[in-house]
Amino acid sequence: MYTFIIPEILAWLSGTIAFIVFLEHFIKRKPVHAFFKRKWVWIPLLVMALSILSGMLSNRTYAPGFAMPLFMHSMAPGGMPPTLPFANIFHFFKNEPNFERVADIGRDPNDVPEPITRTSPTEVKINVVVKEVISEVFPGIYFNYWTFDGTVPGPMYRVREGDTVILTITNHESSLHAHNIDLHSVTGQGGGASLTNVNPGETKTIKWKAINQGLFIYHCAMANVSTHNSHGQYGLILVEPKEGLPKVDKEFYVVQGELYTIGQTGKKGLTVFDSNALVAGHANYVTFNGKVETAPRMHAKVGDKIRMYVGNGGVNLISSFHVIGEIFDTVYPEGAMGEGSALLKNVQTTAVLPGGSTIVEFTVDVPGKYVLVDHALARMNLGAWAILEVTGEAKPDIYSQVPNDYKINSTSTDSSQKEVVNKEIDEYGAASKMNEH
């Protein structure tokens, strides 16, 4: 993790000292030609040269488009050169040994609570631990995430309309900052945030009633709110309607988020939060479930009916959620449910606002790898993609490649049209064969 940041620090320090020494002696020796004849002058010059080389090494990055799926690599341009925030680095190093190392920060999209089958309200207990940890955005790229229960997003919670929720929040003693929780499903000041401000090592409990059904974001609302959210502090809570939701075969949990780090996208080693990039809205990474995906984690079979609970932890970007190769049979716009709420049918792409959500349902009819994206497609280069892998028998009647010698089915009723199209196919096939030679 420190392979690149340590030589960067050394490069800046040694380079600065060498430059001061060089400048001091240069000022004292006015005859420049005599100055450069002195043997000692080459020592700080050599140190400066080595410092520059060390600094260049420490800022190596992956090739442009490294965050894209392997089969969809892009040649996107790079960004601004990275710098080092000396004001915060020593404070971080002092407390760094106390942070837990999380092997996989990305919440498993399969980790969805079971549907609620009971027919009456009850008291539900939720316990959440706020913890500041270190994990990888992508292999070799580390970030100091702030989390609910050690992952991004935090756990998905599921309650029933009318339930009373007892929520206990604990801020782990290793944290450097105070935190709280604001649930958009809560009616009351701050959505719970005003009653859950917890310092490191502190615990508080609140009670609230789930009055409104729907899918809601929760997040940390401690000032500066956008800073906490852009470190990964967000998740979803589903308040199921009293009658429940229609049965499906597979449910998945996906939340889009943004990371703002100093240096260009792809800078290896430990990356540091950049508040200026946050305010400007220039995200270095846009991810589904906290990190750049490296292998498919969602799996289904042909014929499965899929339901995805989709959120946007923000803090700046509206998500245009789309699954390449699928059409949403049903969409719950903005996660709304209940009387008067619209259900949209046959939707290609749906908007998910920062601090908002949606529910999409579709049936997978054909096997393959279906890529989830924010259809502001440049964000794929920043990591905004995930894969749903579908296995099963091929369905050539729904999706297949047409061979060059393909003929229109003889049952066609329009014989004249059939002859014209078959002639065009024959000509196309002949031309293709010539091109092969």
Q: Which residues of the chain have pLDDT under 70?
A: 26-39, 63-65, 68, 70-92, 407-437
Enter the pTM of the model: 0.83
Domain for residue 309, yes or no? yes
| DSSP state, residue 429 | H
Q: Are residues 206 and 185 in the same domain?
A: yes
Measure CA of the first residue to CA of the last residue in the chain; give whole Å: 53
Closest to 102 measured CA to CA, from 154, 29, 62, 64: 154
Q: Are residues 32 and 155 in the same domain?
A: no
Q: Are residues 321 and 353 in the same domain?
A: yes
Sorted by sequence, the CB contacts under 8 Å of residue 121 that are 6+ apart come out as 160, 161, 162, 163, 164
313-362 pLDDT, tens digit each: 999 999 999 999 999 999 999 999 999 999 999 999 999 999 999 999 99
Helix H or strand E segment including 376: none
Q: Are residues 175 and 67 in the same domain?
A: no
Domain for residue 152, yes or no? yes
Q: Are residues 193 and 259 in the same domain?
A: yes
Domain for residue 415, yes or no? yes
Domain for residue 396, yes or no? no
Domain boundary among 89, 107, 131: 89
Q: Are residues 54 and 168 in the same domain?
A: no
Q: Are residues 16 and 114 in the same domain?
A: no
**Residue 421's pLDDT is what?**
52
Q: Are residues 25 and 161 in the same domain?
A: no
Q: Are residues 383 and 410 in the same domain?
A: no
Domain boundary among 60, 89, 118: 89
**Residue 93's pLDDT is what?**
72
Give the number of domains in the chain. Answer: 3
Q: Are residues 323 and 303 in the same domain?
A: yes
**Residue 426's pLDDT is what?**
60
- Which CATH number covers residue 325? 2.60.40.420
Domain for residue 198, yes or no? yes
Q: Are residues 433 and 352 in the same domain?
A: no
Q: Own/partner pairs for 368-372, CB < 8 Å, 24+ apart?
A: 368/325, 369/296, 370/323, 370/324, 370/325, 370/326, 371/69, 371/72, 371/323, 371/324, 371/325, 372/254, 372/288, 372/321, 372/322, 372/323, 372/324
**Residue 85's pLDDT is what?**
42
Domain for residue 280, yes or no? yes
Q: Are residues 252 and 384 in the same domain?
A: yes
Domain boundary among 55, 89, 123: 89
Domain for residue 400, yes or no? no
Q: Rounded to whole angstroms, how far apart are CA atoms 91 and 176?
A: 10
Domain for residue 397, yes or no? no
Domain with 417, as residue range(s), is 405-437
